[in-house]
Structure 1
Amino acid sequence: PNRVLSIDGHDKLSHFGFEIYGAIDAYSRYIVWCYVGISNRTAVSVNKQYLRLLRTTLHMPKLIHSDKGNFLNTISSIILEIVLLAESHLTLWRANRPDLPFQKAYSYGKSTKNQRIEAWWNILTEAQTQEWKTYFAKLELDGYFNGGETDKSCLQYLYMDLIRSHIYRFIEVHNSHPIRFQRNREHYLLTGQPFLMYYYPQSGKNYQEKVDEKVLEALEKKVENYNLDEYLPESIYLLYGRFLQEDGYPNIFAYSDPRHKDAYIYLRDRVSQYIADGGQVHLASRPAGAAEWIAAEWIAVHKTHKIEIHRGSLIG
C-alpha cells in the first residue's frame, strides 16, 4: 500500500451541480478519499482535498498518478487541476528527501492508463451516480432544470447532503467488502478486504512516508480560506429553507420520501419569483484567480529539474 495513489474526477453529475473527486490506493483498492461538492476541477479544491487527507493520516504515498488535466492554448493559460496538489506532494517529499526528482513523486498520463480509479468510477456509477443522473435528466427533460446556476443551487439544497451520505456509505461498504479471487488475474490482483490490505498488509511493503507537520501547516495556510464542504452560502441556505417551510415542506428529505420532487419544483419556482421581484441570490463560487500563479509554479518546478514543459510535450 501507498506505493501509488491514483486520483481523478468523476463528472457523471457535474452538469447538475454535483462534482466528485477521489483517490484509490492502487495496491489494495482502498478508497482513500472521496470529495462530493461543487468544485472537482479547480486546483485549489483538489489541493485542499489532498492536504485534508494528510492532516488526518500524517503520512503520504510514495507516488501519485493522475490524468494530465485540462489545457488551454498556451503554457501561460494552463488550467490544470492537479498542479497545486503535485507541488504540495513534491514539497512534502523534499522536506524529507531534498534531491528527490519530480518524476519519482508524481506521474501523469491518459485517463485510460489510470485504470484503478477509472474502474472505481465504473463501480460507483453502477451503484450510485447513474440512478441520480437518470432522475436529474428526467427533471431536465420535463422542463424543470435549465442548466443554470439557480436551478443547480435548488438541486444542491435538496440533494447534496443526501448524495454525500449515499456515496460515503457505499465507500464504507466497498472498503470492507472482500475482493474475490479471479482466475488469470491473481498475479496482480490481490484478494481480501481493501481496508485490511491497506492498513494491515500481509505481504509487501507499506510505502507510506511520514509528513513534516510544519511544512504541511505552511501548505494548509495557502488554502485555509477555501471551504471544501460549503456548497451554498449560509444566507442562501437559510433563505431556501424558509421558502420550503412557507409551503409546509421539511428541510430534509429521505430519497424514499416522494415529496422531494415536488419540493424541488416548488423551490425552483419560488426562487425564480423571488429574483423576478428584485431579490438577490448570491451563490457560492469556486476558487478562482490561480491560473497565472499555477502556470508560474509549474514552469519553475520543471525548469529546476530540467523537464521540458512546452504544451506539445505535456499533451503528447
Structure 2
Amino acid sequence: MSTRQLKRHLKYLNLTRRKIFSSAQSVFNFVYNQLETSGQSHGYRWMHQKCKMNGFKVKREDIRLLLQVVDPHGVDIRSRRRLKRRDYWSKGPNFCWHVDSYDKLKKYGLCINGCIDGYSRKIIWLKVGRTNNDPTVIGRYYLDAVNVHGGSPLFMRGDLGTENVLIAALQNLFSRNDTLEHNQFIFGKSSFNTRIESWWGILRKECCQTWMEELKDLQNRGLFTGDKLDTNLLQFCFMALLQTELDEVARVWNTHYMQSKKTAEGSVRGRPSNVYLFPELFQVQDHIHPIDKEVLELCKHECTIEHVLPCDEEIFELGCIFMEEYDLEPPSNIYEGKAIYIDFRSWIMNVM
C-alpha cells in the first residue's frame, strides 16, 4: 500500500492523529505526585503508561523530557542502571549480631550456620553440621561464641524460624538486667537481615560454588540419590573437610582490608578483626554485655553438644574400617574426598 492510498483510507474513515492533549499543568501535577511515592522508581515508559491509565492524553516523549526536569537524579541513576541501595548503620562492635543458615548444601547433608557482627563485619561463627534446624545446636554455637568473645551482643537479628527460638530466649535472658524495655532478639524477614544475607554471596563465590558443582556432579552421575545412606556417606567424607575450608574463609575474611563506602554514614575501613577489637580507634563504643560464668555453664546444659561424629555411628564405624583397610588418609581437598566417597560407597554396597 502506497502512502497516498493510506492517506485516502484514513480520510475516508475520518481518522486523524490526536491533536487534543491533556494540559501540561495537569500532567505535571500528576507526575510530581507520583514522584512523592514509589513512582520515583519509574522510568518514562512506565510513567507514560500510568498517565494513560489515569486518563491523560500525553506523548511519551513529553513524559521523558518532563522527568529530566523534575527528577534529574532519578533519571541519572536509571540511565546508569544503578540500584538505590539502603545504607546499613550500627553503633559499634557487638551492637548487633546477625545470624542465619545457609542451605545451598543442605540437600547433601551439609548444613551451614553463621553469625556476623553488624558493625565490624567480623565473622562470629561459621559452622557446618548435620542440621541447622535444631534450636539446641544453634544455641550451642551462640553460647560458645559468647564464651569466646566475653559476653553477648546488645541485640541479635535472625529469621522467623524455630532454629532461632532458643538463642532468642538466651539473648533476652542475658540482657534481663538492662533498662531496655523491648526484646533484644529481633525477628524479621531475610531481606532485612542484610549483613549476613549479603555475606552469603561472598561465601558462595569464595568457597561453596565449587562444592555445589562437585556434589552436583556426583548426583548427575547417579552416585548420590539423596537417601539416608548416601547422605551419611557424604557427611563422613566431607564434613570435616568443609569445616576446615569454612574456618579458612572466616580467617581470610576477618583479616582482609575493607574499603569504606563514601556515601554510607558510619561505614568504616580496616580489617574486621581490628575494627572489632579496637573500637576506640573508630570513635565508637563496644557494646559487649558480660555474662556470669555460672549462668553460662548452666545454659550450656540446655544445649546439645555439637555432634562429635559427622554421621550416624554405624556408618562412621564402617568408614573407619574402610579407611584402615585401604590405608587411606582423610581427604585434603574436595577431589580426594570425591574419590574416597565413590570407593567407600562401592565398598559398602558390596558389604551390604
- TM-score normalised to the size of structure 2? 0.69
**1:58-99 deviation per Cα after TM superposition (whole angstroms, max 9, x unaligned):** 311000001111xxxxxxxxxx111111111111111x33x6
User: Closer, same or farther in 2 for the Cα pair 1:249/1:136, shift >3 Å?
Assistant: farther
Greater relative contact order (Cα < 8 A, sep 6+): 1
Q: CA deviation at 1:112?
A: 0.6
Q: Could you tell me how far apart the structure 2 residues matched to 1:249 and 1:146 are?
A: 27
Q: CA deviation at 1:229?
A: 4.4
1:199 pairs with 268, 277, 285, which one? 277
Give the corresponding residue for 1:89: 171
Q: CA deviation at 1:109?
A: 0.7
Q: CA deviation at 1:101?
A: 3.2
Q: Could you tell me how far apart the structure 1 residues matched to 2:347 and 2:187 are?
A: 46
Match of 2:240, SS state, is: helix
- TM-score normalised to the size of structure 1? 0.77
Q: Could you tell me how far apart the structure 2 residues matched to 1:271 and 1:49 are?
A: 33
Q: Could you tell me how far apart the structure 2 residues matched to 1:217 and 1:52 are?
A: 10
**1:191-222 deviation per Cα after TM superposition (whole angstroms, max 9, x unaligned):** 11100111111221111110122221221111
**Do the aligned residues in 2 keep the contact of 1:37 with 1:230 (CA within 8 Å)?**
no
**Do the aligned residues in 2 keep the contact of 1:37 with 1:229 (CA within 8 Å)?**
no
1:12 pairs with 91, 104, 115, which one? 104
2:232 pairs with 153, 157, 163, which one? 153
Give the corresponding residue for 1:190: 268
User: Closer, same or farther in 2 for the Cα pair 1:234/1:33, shift >3 Å?
Assistant: same
Q: Could you tell me how far apart the structure 2 residues matched to 1:175 and 1:157 are?
A: 29
Taking only aligned residues, the RMSD between alpha carbons, in angstroms, comes to: 1.8
Number of residue equivalences: 258
Correspondence 1:267 to 2:267: no
**1:103-160 deviation per Cα after TM superposition (whole angstroms, max 9, x unaligned):** 2x11111101000001111100100011101100010011000011211111111111
Structure 2 runs not aligned, ≥5 long: 1-92
Match of 1:242, SS state, is: helix
Q: CA deviation at 1:233?
A: 4.6
Q: Could you tell me how far apart the structure 2 residues matched to 1:89 and 1:260 are?
A: 38
| Structure 1 segment 39-50 matched on structure 2, within 5 A | 39-50=131-142
Match of 2:301, SS state, is: helix
Amino acid at match of 1:114: N
Say which one has the larger Rg.
2
Q: Could you tell me how far apart the structure 2 residues matched to 1:40 and 1:84 are?
A: 13
Aligned residues with identical type, % of pairs: 28
Structure 1 runs not aligned, ≥5 long: 70-79, 277-316
Q: Could you tell me how far apart the structure 1 residues matched to 2:197 and 2:224 are?
A: 29
User: Closer, same or farther in 2 for the Cα pair 1:102/1:148, shift >3 Å?
Assistant: farther
**1:286-307 deviation per Cα after TM superposition (whole angstroms, max 9, x unaligned):** xxxxxxxxxxxxxxxxxxxxxx
**Do the aligned residues in 1 keep the contact of 2:130 with 2:311 (CA within 8 Å)?**
no
Give the corresponding residue for 1:52: 144
